[in-house]
A = this chain, B = another copy of it.
Amino acid sequence: MIIEEKPRQQETPAKPAYKVIGTRPVRPDGVEKVIGRAKYGADIDLPGMLYGKVLRSPVAHAYIRSIDTSAAEKLPGVKAVVTSADLPRLSSNEYIDMGEGGGQLQDLHDNILASRKVLYKGHAIASVAATNPHIAEEALSLIKLDLEELPPVLDPLEAMREDAPLLDDQRYTESLAGRSSKPSNIARHAQHAIGDIEAGFAQADVIVEREYRTSMVHQGYIEPQNGTALWDADDHITVWTSTQGAFSVRAELSKLLLVPLAQIRVIPMEIGGGFGGKIAVYLEPVAALLSRKAGRPVKMTMTRAEVLEATGPTSGTYIKLKMGAKKDGRLIAAQAYMVYESGAYPSSPLGAGMSCMLGPYDIPNVLIDGYDVVVNKPRTAAYRAPGAPAAAFAAESLVDELAGKVGLDPLTFRRINASKLGTRLANGNVLPRVGNYECITAAMESEHWNAPLSAPWRGRGVASGVWYNWGGLSSLTASVNADGSVTLTEGSTDIGGSRATAAMQLAEALGIPYESIHPFVADTDNIGYNDVTGGSRTTFATGWAVYEAAQQIKRQLIERAARLWECSETDVDYTNGVLTCKTNPDLRLSFKEMAEKAHSTGGTIVGCGNPSPKQFGPAFATHIVDVEVDPETGKVQILRYTAIQDVGTAIHPSYVEGQIQGGVAQGVGWALNEVYDYDEQGRLRNASLLDYRQPTTLDLPMIDTILVEVPNPTHPYGVRGVGEVPIVPPLAAVANAIAHATGQRFLKLPLNPDAVLRGLGKIK
């Protein structure tokens, strides 16, 4: 019998009586998006604009002997042709930190336009700008490529072998021990360790070891990559693009094109999905080079096949995991060997995968070895909680098995071992106040968990997950207008409703109606530096910046009132949007009334926010899913899904629910269908959304959500960040449910009908 203790210091404080936070107002950008009038990158149309197209490698691995563009240049209507020779020679090879999905500058450079080698099918080689897209495409066909083909390496374990074809003979393994003596496809070997792994396993009563595999999968945003550039005569560059971070695009362009930051203006258009894949640049620098040559704006848009073949999927993985528990159910040791494939250039989310894999658990002895391996596939990019879902697939599958072996239900097992305030993780970090325990408890108490599930071939699975979230930098200004409305100028791409959540936090802080605030996403010439919308940082950090700006505005309101009323500032109170004088109850001005007097009492009232948060709020989730497996076809149907998540404070609950539902949908796709299906030559066989099978509304039930609110104590409004963790548990939750339904453990994703039938022994 297990004696479960509630962790100490885990009392949730009473929620403040918010007026705006927690409501569900209409989003300011909603109508325009719904009726199709919001402006995306594809809507750009400039006088004299040219259209750019990219010539891509037909093979997965080759030396480039020569590129002859002379015939293409002569085609009427062609205004510019560029190759890697047109990219400036880099002066350094620094690491470009993009929040998520950074990388070495030289690799980014070679991925933009291949120089010495092509490293994957679809690798960009040359580009043409012409007066219409058809001429540009025709010109591509006139470019003569002389390639010396090389054998590709596609599997990361094969790529690690000493005799594997090398993608780059100047690439060495970086590790704590230093740099390897011989070149290798292993770009990095990292290690996390805590306790004594051998002593740990020696104490274990039950040990399970398994090998798990996941495929490369794509973020699957609806809107393809696009970019329009105008390189002015005065060497100022303007770029319109779909991006998660205009400042990241600006920084990448500045480093790649050797143009100062202040001379580049990046205008973020509305974004049709990103999920981490719209951070690294692909087309923008090429469009800029073409524009400089042509003296006209150049617009580029990818086809779906280009998106799938040449933009960032996330890593396929191999994870060998061994965990040990004592017979009372306490986890005592875990050891992992993790291989993440980066695609052509080191870019895998290995580190985050290593950190998140065992994050839900308090395990005293852990050793994790991780390997970042290059293969002849597209350079990976960040994808929602980068690295964590594949890792959680391994850990949460194995935890499920262990729970069974010690005779505990999977939620009790998880709660006994739940990481909490003070838990030291294998990466060295110590957890702050988190809601892991509360999520598991809410799952145990949920109607779903307690509902019967009796039919044959049906199963219920659970899984937990963590994403530590991120803060990063947000800079914004809030300008009080003379009619009491407020213009909130921010620099965060609005992907999931952050215009609304920023405006709500400002309304809350100022005690004024949400409708008084007009949030606006500015370009890089109009606001200070903002990190990308990613890492689940925007509602957290931009909200924090909003709070700072509101405090500045409040101070000015109080100063003005004190001046008007000829009293001390300490005698002025500002509460619920009303200024009052503590010493004279007749004196009273609403926010709107004071705004009307602003210009005559000291000028424009503007608040700026530029916080630099150091402590973030990790987010935990526990998911429950019911499935039904069709033993004849192998098809898995999701019957019911409940996602329980500690959201800190739900600023706009509908958007939080939407984020969770979206994350679950993507996770289910990853679990059941999505796969990068390469042939032996490294050609992607399913480079279309017909063949690359994402879940549709017909594949999913309504995703139920339970919002647990354990406020983040370091944030003014307790915000944690909610967008990423919901994709972490679904892979394992679905696999665990299938195991429950079939009695069969599946260790490799996706669990499409083919895989299920093979697992059930129905086909070979």
Contacts and interface: CB of A to CB of B under 8 A. Distances in A.
Interface of A: 28-32, 35, 37, 43, 45-47, 232-234, 236, 251, 254, 260-263, 265, 473, 475, 477, 479, 481-483, 485-487, 489, 516-518, 520, 522, 524-530, 599, 602-606, 608, 610-612
B234 A30 contact: yes
Nearest to A26: B234
A158 B610 CA distance: 62
A294 to B, nearest CB: 13
Given A232-B32, A486-B262, A599-B473, A526 B520 contact: yes
Nearest to A254: B483
5 contacts: A30-B234, A31-B233, A261-B483, A475-B604, A529-B604
A261 B604 CA distance: 14
A261 B603 contact: no
A520 B489 CA distance: 15
9 A-B pairs with least C-beta separation: A603-B612, A262-B485, A262-B518, A526-B526, A479-B528, A528-B606, A261-B481, A520-B525, A31-B234
A479 B527 contact: yes
Nearest to A602: B612
B32 A528 contact: no
A392 B518 CA distance: 47
Contacts of A528: 477, 479, 604-606
A48 to B, nearest CB: 10
A281 B355 CA distance: 60
A613 to B, nearest CB: 9
Contact of A485 (B263, B479, B516): B263
B262 A487 contact: yes
Contacts of A530: 604
Given A47-B43, A234-B30, A483-B254, A527 B262 contact: no
Contact of A604 (B30, B45, B473): B473
A529 B265 CA distance: 22
Contacts of A524: 487
A125 to B, nearest CB: 30
Contact of A611 (B236, B482, B603, B610): B603
A39 to B, nearest CB: 9
Contacts of A232: 31-32, 37
Contacts of A475: 479, 603-604, 606
Contact of A45 (B47, B525, B526): B47
Nearest to A541: B603
A500 to B, nearest CB: 13
Contacts of A30: 234
A604 B477 CA distance: 13
Given A526-B520, A528-B604, A482 B233 contact: no
Contacts of A483: 254, 260-261
Contacts of A28: 234
A254 B482 CA distance: 11
B525 A522 contact: yes
A184 to B, nearest CB: 31
A267 B606 CA distance: 20
Contacts of A520: 265, 525-526
Contacts of A482: 251, 261, 529
A526 B518 CA distance: 11
A529 B611 contact: no
Given A31-B233, A487-B525, 7 more contacts: A28-B234, A32-B233, A261-B483, A261-B487, A265-B520, A481-B529, A528-B605
Nearest to A46: B45
Contacts of A604: 473, 475, 528-530, 610, 612
A526 B529 contact: no
A611 B602 CA distance: 8
Nearest to A47: B45
A321 B45 CA distance: 60
A501 to B, nearest CB: 17
B525 A37 contact: no
Nearest to A552: B608
A524 B482 CA distance: 13
Nearest to A530: B604
A142 B175 CA distance: 81
A282 to B, nearest CB: 22
Contacts of A487: 261-262, 524-525
Given A32-B233, A233-B35, A262 B516 contact: yes
Nearest to A611: B603
A608 B606 contact: yes
Most B Cβ at <10 Å: residue of A263, A518, A530:
A518
Contacts of A610: 603-606
Contacts of A37: 232-233
Contacts of A612: 599, 602-604
A417 B611 CA distance: 58
Nearest to A599: B473
A537 B277 CA distance: 47
A71 B516 CA distance: 42
B527 A489 contact: yes
Contacts of A516: 260, 262
A575 to B, nearest CB: 23
Nearest to A481: B261
Contacts of A479: 475, 527-529
A526 B481 contact: no
A383 to B, nearest CB: 25
A612 to B, nearest CB: 3
B529 A599 contact: yes
Contacts of A262: 481, 485-487, 516-518
